Amino acid sequence: MGLTLIACENVNNKKTSEKPIAEDVSKETIEPDDAVEYKIVKMEDQSSKALGKKPLSQYQTSELEKLPIKKKHLYRVVLKDIKENQVKPTVELIIKELTSVDKDIDEITLWLYSDNELSNSTYDIGAATWAPYGKLGNVDANIAKNNSRENYEISYQITRNLNEYLALRSETEDKFGFSVEVRKQIFKDLVKAQDKAGEYEHKEQQKVLNKYGNINDANREKIKAEYAKIYDKSAEKMSEYEAAVAKQYNISVEQLSEISSEAQEKFWPLD
């Protein structure tokens, strides 16, 4: 669903080349290498009169009526698989694309989230502000009316130890309806099942060696043939045991494999 810009009062005092902004405006053609995929999930119009640094109380009513609108938007943005060193390049991309779509926008605030479910609360990744000198409240009538962009900067508030926070959040997230602790137990059960199949293969191979004694040219091919049968039988048992674990937790074998991959990537212990 697209986000439509909302017109403010006294729009005649400000250029009004307003265009709808798509909910996801990322463009692969100009995306920097360090930027990540993003999605704007909500836009809040916070536009007001371009007072600049002069307090409202110091304006006469007639002066206020003549002031142009300072177009200010707050965007809630979800960043996918972000790392701390990718925040600034991604923010720069977002600002570039928003201002290329709407050249009348005077101030932009971005609240950055790691997950769409968090986007109704305060940001967790951080925030960024695009404004004169990187601070809100510096837009005066000249800037708002003429779209003067001199001295515009982006300021950042990034969560401390962001990579650690995101890693911990990923570690504790539910997956397939299971907490990380349950997934660790599923992995342990899977390893036990795999070990059981491995034990069968080892015992059967030992029986073959006991039967033939030392491997030599006379019996090598026979031993290889029996080993192949044992391997096939072991693989069959492995599939049976893995299917039993999947059935126990009411998940698919593919999901079981994903949990196994997660365990190996994160070095989950087996004890």
pLDDT band at residue 160, thresholds of 50, 70 and 90? very high
* pLDDT for the residue numbered 244: 95
- Per-residue pLDDT tens digits for 172-188: 778 888 888 899 999 99
- Per-residue pLDDT tens digits for 100-131: 999 999 999 999 999 887 888 889 999 999 99
* pLDDT for the residue numbered 33: 62
* pLDDT for the residue numbered 129: 97
pLDDT band at residue 153, thresholds of 50, 70 and 90? very high
pLDDT cut 70: percent of the chain above it = 87
- Residue 128, C-beta contacts closer than 8 angstroms, at least 6 positions apart: 91, 95, 109, 110, 112, 154, 155, 156, 157
- Average pLDDT across the chain, whole number: 85
Where do the DSSP E strands lie in 97-148?
107-113, 126-132
- Residue 178, C-beta contacts closer than 8 angstroms, at least 6 positions apart: 186, 249
* pLDDT for the residue numbered 168: 80
* Closest to 22 measured CA to CA, from 44, 47, 46, 5: 5
Buried b (16+ CB within 10 A) or exposed e, 181-217: eebbebbbbbbebbeebeebbeebbeebeeeeeeeee
